Structure 1
Amino acid sequence: MTSLPGGSDEGGSAPEPPPLVCARCGVTADGPRPTWTCSVENGVREYFCDTCSRENLRAIEGRLDSAWW
């Protein structure tokens, strides 16, 4: 049996991205991706929630890895 072009076996819509999890406190973002702080540390992309970002603003601006916070 052959499917028509655009059928459901061709993937359809793009998969939903995984939820963001704060690398510092572990809180999970609900709904659409918020504007959290993104940091690349040791080649790994990490996200930090608004609260953790605000509490550690000086360290972030000073480019200290989160291990130093």
Structure 2
Amino acid sequence: MPVPVPVEIFRFGAEWVERALNGERAEPGRDVRHYVHRDGPTTGATADLAWWLGTVPTLIDEARRA
């Protein structure tokens, strides 16, 4: 059975695209990330999972440094 997607994710995505098309995302070095959890809420500023407890898997850490 598929997991239902909260309707907020579509609004969140549409607002992001609108801002990007209006040039709001054009500042150099901008890197803002959000992780959308299965149950709906988002975690701002990082996509790191809460259960990583401040550590990052080696492969992900290496990819970020590349």
TM-score, normalised on structure 2? 0.25
**TM-score by structure 1 length?**
0.24
Considering fraction of residues, name the structure with more helix.
2
- Structure showing the higher strand proportion among its residues: 1
